[in-house]
């Protein structure tokens, strides 16, 4: 079958959309001659999605955060700010490694608000848990990388991982509670247990840990998730960037996991576990989803190997009809896969401790998106679908450590860089952002398919699906393309997308507000240039998921990505992360394109959490 045209895809999209939204009712409607519009309207009314109630902000190239009239944003927790009553940030970056271990790390990413007390719906007091994805070592030290030392390495290792801060609204104003018994930094040196089928596997054993049961630290923590029992899930994504293999002779499997001869971070020069020549299995101990209890600062994080090892982006959960836990995650690399984990045992809402190791047992699947809008979840189970020793998979641990190869072996669909995956709070539909894939259709690479319908896809799309029988544990689903991002003024019609409303590109962060509005944070790699010249700085947009209408809510400072969006349970406060302002400056220190948030000439740009409220105290976006 030939590749569908965009028009054919639009037809497919709308016909699938009916099925997704209205199920059997829509088929009936078509039989009795109700129009498409009538079907959509019926669906919208039934779902009660509120209309977007703010005026769009224009695109921006200014070095500031812009929000709509009637809203206020404020810098809340920036790189170097203390998590508790520890040392303050020094603007010349002269804080020590010990200081850094008590302060916000760099490059804030995925984030979640957990109400206090645990399990409540309190919208005025809670824990904010966030990832510090990666580093700009040129900003981390006074002399940038002109020298390199063990002390500088320690500061770098303490500037990644996660932070837990206690936050409270008093007299209408949000503040970080200092000191706080909950405050915590998790770093690249925090001891963590290895859980699940790869625990103790030969692939996980190292000189420092011959049993293969404990690893030091996490890094490359991109997006995230949380569980019904109140734990946080942090996703290890671009792990390869911290490792080096100086001899430069990767195995085929290491190549698939992007092992490089050098690392710009230079960690391996003072911490030899990051030297793959010396400690090849240390690399296998990263690329996992890590679970920890944010309410207990002494709790030991656990790497949950049952969810596979890849460039994990998010880890969003729901419950199957029978109470088993389902977690969706994606592998953010070109031509990689979307995964679904279904736990073996059901969630126990009455006994928190009973859920402690729920994520260690279950079945991992990879998604296949068929051209007709159907989908199949392919089990990644040793002994099934050719995942056998004869085909190079020694056991289940091997399948999970090398899950990219397992996904390929079973014939999953090669996607355009899966980023966040979220679930509509009212319909159960699952939405996944596919941020871009400029290599699709280029020489030697896979060409477009129904779910990834553009070659040289620089703008990205959002795909969504509904599980068969509305049961998240189902092994089949129906999908459609929710939106193709693009620039409506692009000279090539195929690149204009089909956005209804404000243009955007490279969807990355997704989050549903409690009211069912879908929010999109964008991550154009180098904004304002080339294909992105008309789209300005990265943005946060709100989408009515019934009508598909998109409105631009926020524009960020220069060079940043917008990520980490989380709401309080009442929807009246949004916390948003402004990640890596100033990235792609020619010279970070002498001439950064951003001095945000300080604004002072020469100030180092700092990633930061901002807090957004409506001046009249209403629900954000409505």
Q: Which does 237 bind (CB under 5 to 8 A by kind): ligand FEO, Ca ion, none?
A: ligand FEO
Sole binder of ligand FEO in the list 237, 293, 336, 502 (CB under 6 A): 237
d(CA 402, CA 251): 12
Alpha-carbon span 393 to 63, nearest angstrom? 50
- Applying CB under 5 A, the site for Ca ion has a residue count of 6
Q: Does 331 bind ligand FEO (CB under 6 A)?
A: no
Q: With binding defined as CB under 6 A, does residue 583 bind ligand FEO? A: no
C-beta closer to Ca ion: residue 107 or 402: 107
Contact between 543 and 550 under an 8 Å Cβ cutoff? The reply is yes
DSSP 548-598: -EEEEEEE--TT-EEEEEEE-TTS-EEEEEEE-TTTT-SBTTTB-S--TTT
Lookup result for tokens 């709509």: 68
282 interacts with Ca ion by CB under 5 A:
no
196 vs 559 by CB, closer to Ca ion = 559
Q: Residue 531 interacts with ligand FEO (CB under 6 A)? A: no
- By the 8 A CB rule, do 339 and 399 touch? no
DSSP helix/strand/coil, 302: strand
Q: State the number of CA atoms in the 13 A half-sphere of 201 facing the CB.
A: 23
Name residues contacting ligand FEO, limited to 418-447 (CB under 6 A). 419
Residues 176-235 that bind Ca ion (CB under 5 A): 222
580: phi > 0 → left, psi -120 to 50 → alpha, else beta; which?
left
Cα angle 155-158-161, degrees, rounded to a multiple of 5: 145
H-helix or E-strand spanning residue 17: helix 6-22
> What is the rounded distance in angstroms from the CA atom of residue 47 to the CA atom of residue 405?
40
Q: Give the residue with the Cβ less far from Ca ion, 66 or 505.
A: 505
Least separation in angstroms between residue 284's CB and ligand FEO is: 20
Q: Which of residues 382-421 bind ligand FEO (CB under 6 A)?
A: 419
CB-nearer residue toward Ca ion: 568 or 577: 577
Nearest approach in angstroms of CB 206 to ligand FEO is 26
Q: Residue 33 CA to chain centroid, in angstroms? A: 42
Q: Are 310 and 336 in contact (CB under 8 A)?
A: yes
The answer to whether 404 and 287 have CB atoms below 8 angstroms apart is no
> Between residues 141 and 420, which has the closer beta carbon with respect to Ca ion?
420
CB of 445 to Ca ion, least distance (A): 19
Q: Which is nearer to Ca ion, 397 or 608 (CB)?
A: 608
C-alpha 442/C-alpha 439 separation (Å) is 5
Tell me how far apart the alpha carbons of residues 565 and 553 are, in angstroms, rounded to a whole number. Answer: 12
Min dist CB 385 to ligand FEO, Å, is: 27
502 or 508: CB nearest ligand FEO: 508
CB atoms inside a 10 Å sphere around CB 390: 6
- Using CB under 5 A as the binding rule, whether residue 508 contacts Ca ion is answered as yes
- Give the footprint of ligand FEO on residues 470-509 (CB under 6 A): 508
Residues present in the chain in total = 622
Q: Which residue in the set 81, 282, 398, 419 belongs to the binding site for Ca ion (CB under 5 A)?
A: 419
Residue 289 CB, nearest approach to Ca ion (Å): 14
Cβ closer to Ca ion: 293 or 583? 583
CB of 314 to ligand FEO, least distance (A): 9
Closer to Ca ion by Cβ: residue 112 or 427: 112
197, 326, 375, 577 from 429: Cα distances, Å: 30, 13, 14, 25
Of 419 and 583, CB closest to Ca ion:
419
| Tokens of residue 480, six digits | 């459609």
One of 81, 236, 467, 523 touching Ca ion (CB under 5 A): 523
Query: What's the rounded Cα separation, in Å, for the pair 122 and 114?
Result: 9
Neighbours of 491 (CB within 10 A): 7
In whole angstroms, the minimum distance from the beta carbon of 536 to ligand FEO comes to 20
Tokens of 131: 């990832």
Q: Report in angstroms how near the CB of residue 563 gets to ligand FEO at its nearest.
A: 8
CB of 436 to ligand FEO, least distance (A): 11
Q: How far is the CB of 134 from ligand FEO (least distance, A)?
A: 8
Does 136 engage in binding with Ca ion (CB under 5 A)? no
Interaction between residue 293 and ligand FEO (CB under 6 A): no
Q: How far is the CB of 359 from Ca ion (least distance, A)?
A: 21
Nearer to Ca ion, 282 or 523 (CB): 523
- Please identify the residue of the shown chain whose CB is closest to the bound Ca ion: 523
**CA separation for the pair 236, 252 (Å, rounded):** 21
Shortest distance in whole angstroms from residue 433 CB to Ca ion: 8
* Among positions 22, 93, 163, 222, the unique one binding ligand FEO when judged by CB under 6 A: 222
417-442 burial by CB neighbour count: b if 16+ within 10 A, else e? bbbbbbbbeebebbbbbbbbbbbbbe
* Identity of the residue, 312 or 340, whose beta carbon is nearer to ligand FEO in the bound complex: 312
Please say which residue, 220 or 343, places its beta carbon nearer to Ca ion: 220
Look at residue 613 and give its three-state secondary structure. Answer: strand
Other CB atoms within 10 Å distance of the CB of residue 311: 23
Q: Does 336 bind Ca ion (CB under 5 A)?
A: no
**One character per residue 89-128, x = contact with Ca ion (rule: CB under 5 A):** --------------------x-------------------
Which tokens sit at 446?
């896979």
CB of 133 to ligand FEO, least distance (A): 6
Cβ nearer to Ca ion, comparing 258 with 356? 258
Query: Could you say whether residue 336 binds ligand FEO (CB under 6 A)?
Result: no
Give the closest residue to 578 by CA, choosing from 601, 602, 595: 595
**Selection from 554, 566, 562, 569 nearest residue 607 by Cα:** 562
Task: Work out whether 313 is an interface residue with ligand FEO (CB under 6 A).
Answer: yes
One of 133, 236, 360, 416 touching ligand FEO (CB under 6 A):
133
274 close to 216: Cβ distance less than 8 angstroms? no
The smaller minimum CB distance to ligand FEO, of residues 234 and 355, is found at: 234
Bridge partners (DSSP) of residue 112 are 129
What is the spatial distance between Cα 287 and Cα 193, in angstroms, rounded to a whole number?
14
Per DSSP, 270 falls in state: T
* Rounded least distance, CB 27 to Ca ion, Å: 37
Residues found near Ca ion in the complex (CB under 5 A): 109, 133, 222, 419, 508, 523
Chain residues that interact with ligand FEO, rule: CB under 6 A: 133, 222, 237, 313, 332, 419, 508
């Amino acid at each position: 079958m030939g590749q569908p045209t965009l028009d054919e895809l639009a037809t497919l999209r709308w016909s699938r959309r009916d099925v997704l939204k209205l199920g059997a009712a829509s088929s009936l409607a078509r039989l009795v001659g109700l129009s498409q519009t009538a079907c959509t309207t019926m669906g919208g009314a039934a779902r009660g999605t509120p209309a977007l109630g703010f005026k769009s902000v224009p695109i921006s190239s200014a070095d500031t955060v812009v929000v709509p009239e009637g809203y206020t944003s404020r810098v809340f927790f920036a790189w170097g700010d203390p998590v508790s009553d520890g040392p303050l940030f020094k603007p010349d970056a002269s804080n020590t490694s010990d200081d850094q271990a008590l302060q916000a790390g760099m490059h804030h990413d995925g984030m979640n608000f957990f109400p206090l007390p645990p399990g409540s719906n309190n919208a005025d007091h809670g824990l904010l848990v966030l990832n510090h994805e990666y580093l700009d070592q040129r900003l981390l030290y006074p002399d940038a990388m002109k020298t390199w030392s063990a002390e500088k390495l320690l500061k770098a290792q303490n500037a990644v991982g996660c932070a837990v801060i206690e936050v409270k609204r008093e007299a209408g104003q949000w503040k970080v509670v200092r000191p706080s018994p909950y405050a915590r930094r998790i770093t690249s040196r925090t001891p963590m247990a290895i859980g699940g089928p790869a625990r103790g596997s030969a692939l996980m054993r190292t000189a420092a840990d011959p049993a293969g049961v404990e690893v030091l630290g996490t890094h490359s923590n991109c997006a995230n998730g949380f569980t019904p029992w109140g734990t946080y899930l942090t996703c290890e994504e671009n792990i390869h960037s911290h490792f080096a293999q100086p001899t430069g002779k990767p195995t085929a499997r290491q190549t698939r996991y992007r092992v490089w001869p050098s690392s710009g971070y230079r960690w391996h020069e003072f911490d030899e576990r990051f030297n793959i020549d010396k400690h090849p299995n240390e690399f296998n101990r990263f690329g996992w989803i890590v679970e920890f209890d944010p309410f207990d600062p002494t709790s030991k994080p656990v790497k949950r190997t049952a969810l596979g090892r890849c460039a994990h982006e998010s880890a969003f959960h729901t419950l199957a009809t029978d109470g088993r836990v389902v977690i969706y995650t994606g592998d953010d690399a070109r031509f990689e896969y979307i995964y679904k984990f279904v736990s073996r045992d059901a969630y126990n809402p009455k006994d928190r401790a009973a859920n402690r190791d729920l994520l260690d047992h279950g079945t991992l699947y990879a998604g296949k998106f068929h051209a007709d809008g159907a989908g199949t979840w392919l089990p990644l189970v040793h002994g099934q679908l050719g995942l056998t020793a004869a085909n190079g998979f020694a056991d289940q641990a091997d399948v999970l450590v090398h899950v990219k190869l397992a996904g390929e072996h079973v014939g999953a669909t090669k996607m355009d860089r899966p980023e966040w995956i979220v679930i509509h709070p009212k319909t159960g539909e699952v939405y996944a952002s596919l941020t871009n894939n400029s290599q699709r259709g280029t020489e030697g690479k896979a060409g477009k398919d129904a779910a990834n319908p553009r070659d040289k896809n620089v703008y990205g799309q959002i795909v969504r699906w509904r599980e068969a029988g509305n049961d998240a544990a189902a092994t089949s689903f129906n999908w459609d393309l929710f939106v193709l991002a693009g620039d409506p003024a692009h000279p090539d019609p195929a690149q204009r997308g089909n956005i209804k409303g404000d243009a955007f590109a490279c969807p990355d962060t997704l989050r549903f507000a409690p009211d069912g509005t879908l929010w999109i944070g964008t991550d154009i790699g180098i904004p304002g240039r080339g294909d992105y010249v008309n789209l300005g700085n990265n943005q946060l947009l709100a989408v009515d998921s019934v009508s598909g209408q998109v409105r631009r809510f926020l524009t960020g400072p220069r060079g940043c990505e917008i990520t980490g969006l989380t709401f309080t349970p009442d929807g009246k406060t949004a916390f948003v992360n402004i990640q890596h302002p100033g990235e792609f400056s020619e010279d970070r220190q002498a001439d950064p394109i951003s001095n945000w948030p300080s604004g002072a000439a020469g100030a180092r740009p700092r990633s930061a959490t901002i807090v957004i409220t409506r001046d009249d105290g209403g629900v954000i976006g409505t």
